[in-house]
Amino acid sequence: MKTLTIREVPDEVYTTLRECAVVNHRSLQEQVVALLEREAHLVRGAQAGRLLRWRQKLAGRKLGNITAEIRRERQR
């Protein structure tokens, strides 16, 4: 596992995180890790959704060989 140090956390944010940790019966560190995990999961899900939508848009299309096209253009 990696270690992450966060500096200059605003007092208000720290207090809120501390209060959430108490409510959730977690240490401050456990609370922050839980929030980071949730955010990373949401971001990953959003990226997967965008990828799926692009695949659906491009489904059935004949895509050319972009490398060959670039080489032809360079030779012009």
Q: Where are the domains of the chain?
A: 11-75
- Alpha carbon distances (Å) from 73 to 12, 62, 63: 57, 20, 17
In this predicted structure, what is the pLDDT of residue 43? 80
Question: In whole angstroms, what is the distance from residue 17 CA to residue 4 CA?
Answer: 16
CA atoms within 13 A on the CB side of 73: 6
To the nearest 10°, the Cα dihedral for 40, 43, 49, 53?
-150
**pLDDT per residue as tens digits for the range 18-74:** 999 999 999 999 999 999 999 988 888 888 888 888 888 888 888 788 899 899 999
**1 pLDDT higher than 90:** no
CA atoms within 13 A on the CB side of 67: 0
**13 pLDDT higher than 90:** yes
In this predicted structure, what is the pLDDT of residue 59? 87
Residue 4: which pLDDT band, with cuts at 50, 70 and 90? very high
